Amino acid sequence: MGDDRVRTYIEGLDERMEGGIPNGSAVLVVGEPGTMKSSVTFNILYNNAMQDGRKSLYITLEQNAASLAKQMKGFGWDPKAAGDKIEILDIGAIRKRMKQEPKWMFVFKTFVKNLKDSNKYDILVIDSLPVLEVLAKFEEPRDELFQLFEWLRDMGLTTFLISEMSPDSRAYARYDEDFLSDGIMHLRMREMGGVSVQRHIRCVKMRSTNHSTDYFSLLFDKGQFKATRVIGDGRI
């Protein structure tokens, strides 16, 4: 693997996608509540910081920064250990700098751009895209999302956009985010035998990458995510 890909650091997954996610991609991380969207994404940032020296910015719009940091510490990924390689910002921090500016999206973009210029991070997380859409009060969501994706690509950032999926839906996105994105990672929980529940992960799409489109069991063991072949199909 060269430097042209960002590893997911999920053992068994990188090997099935040419080593990782192509640099500069905008990737949707979608799933139902509690499917580990935030944790899987933070794991990518943490390992990229510690092992590859890559810098990132995690914008959390649902959870405050302290709560997210505490949760990640619980997994064994202490944001403080990553020093200035990981910055976590929440809505409160952004609001503080907003003053009277009514154009939320303008403020958001300026903020992200200024931090990129000063801190030189190259991975960005938006947790979550639906909350950003609400805050930005998009009048023409399709048009404005198209512009957002273009803007992210122009900045050369590898971006993870976390998004929600309701348990009874098969749609990965509300507007055209699934078509606009370069990649989609789907996380789900599946009942096995009516009692236990397995976590699954699947790479739905990844442009410029020969990857498996299968679901894999997502396991967390000794501080490490692993993707292994699913045993059984949940219809026992």
Residues 75-94 that bind ligand ATP (CB under 6 A): 75
Q: Which residues face 199 on adjacent strands?
A: 189
Smallest separation, CB 14 to ligand ATP (Å): 19
Contact between 35 and ligand ATP by CB under 6 A: the answer reads yes
| 34 sits near ligand ATP (criterion: CB under 6 A) | yes
Which of 94, 176, 109, 105 lies closest to 135, judged by CA?
Answer: 105
Strands 196-206 and 86-90: unpaired
Q: Would you say 37 or 200 has its CB closer to ligand ATP?
A: 37
Q: Does 223 bind ligand ATP (CB under 6 A)?
A: no
Give the Cα separation of 60 and 42 in Å (integer).
11
Residue 192's DSSP bridge partners are 196
Identify which of residues 48 and 128 has a Cβ nearer to Mg ion in the complex.
128
Tell me which DSSP letter residue 153 carries: H
Select the binding partner of residue 232 from ligand ATP, Mg ion, none (C-beta < 5 to 8 A, by kind). Answer: none
Closest Cα to residue 52, out of 144, 158, 149, 187? 158
> Binding marks (x or -) toward Mg ion, 36..75, rule CB under 5 A?
--x-------------------------------------
Shortest CA distance to 82 belongs to which of 117, 118, 42, 114? 42
The answer to whether 165 contacts ligand ATP (rule: CB under 6 A) is no
Task: Dump strand ranges (E) for the chain.
Answer: 5-6, 10-11, 21-22, 26-31, 56-60, 86-90, 123-127, 158-164, 183-192, 196-206, 215-221, 224-229
74 binds, among ligand ATP, Mg ion, none (CB under 5 to 8 A by kind): ligand ATP
Question: Applying CB under 6 A, which part among 11-19, 27-35, 142-150, 211-219 lies near ligand ATP?
Answer: 27-35
* Among positions 39, 43, 47, 60, the unique one binding ligand ATP when judged by CB under 6 A: 39
Q: In this chain, which of 4, 15, 33, 228 binds ligand ATP, going by CB under 6 A?
A: 33
Q: Which residues bind ligand ATP (CB under 6 A)?
A: 31, 33-39, 74-75, 220
